[in-house]
Structure 1
Amino acid sequence: MTTKASTTRKRSQTKVTAKVEVNGKKTPALQIQNLSIGKIIPDPMQPRKTFNEMLLLQLSESIKKHGVLQPITVRKSKNDYVIVMGERRYRASKLAGKKTIPCIVRTYNNNDVRKFKSSKICKDRMLSRLKKPRRLLT
């Protein structure tokens, strides 16, 4: 299996498409698009209701210096894109004054999104609890 990536520029929107060869056929595996932050909206069904402002400011400074290192994941809505994963990166990018953000555009149904977000938040909380004792030791 081989992977080949290509970049195209269209209307100030960069698209990176990775093509994977499966059974002799090249098929798109991943598309990363730089979308306008104004076309992206937070998911109104986001289970996480609070965001630590200090951590968002730290992430914002990192984004100013290094850019967004991991694209957010969005799904297409009627006229815009709804965040599936990466609302902290989205908020920090807005704080950093970014006009665009790298996104992976995927198709999800609402039930899948809710299940995924709930499990992600549980995993994040568990990781956070594991990191606390380590912070106390250092």
Structure 2
Amino acid sequence: MMIEVEISEWEQQCCGDPCRIGSTLTWKLVARDPSKNHGRSAPRYREEHHGETPEHMPHLPVTGTVRSIDALHYAFDEGPHPGELTIRRSSEASAPLDAFPGAGPQLPGCSDEHQVLGYRVQLEVADDAELPACAPGEPGWE
């Protein structure tokens, strides 16, 4: 079965495991709101490894094989306060990758005004894999 996992750029850069297409790994996942699938059919999850998920909220280690990686980059708009920027979610663009990038040059299409904020990974898991349940209404569930 194929699932979609979102990974924040800062968590990956901080202490994420290096991986590439074809890597098998285990991530702790939290379910995303299925009503916000934006036309995608695969179940959606987010990876979290900094202990930010409340203990009562379903989050489980899930093992799978990476089938694709897309860098997600966004433009920014001026925020309500001088010097404050807000993410323009409607500007999302993606760039396919073979592996998570290390420090170095920016990805294609990125600039100081358009930056990578996350990654979308297609992860193949066993059909009988135990996946975290959705917990609508819980803080942090989106």
Query: Larger Cα Rg: Structure 1 or Structure 2?
Result: 1
TM-score (norm 1): 0.29
Q: Bigger relative contact order, structure 1 or 2, given CA contacts below 8 A and separation 6+?
A: 2
TM-score (norm 2): 0.28
Higher strand share: 2
Higher helix share: 1
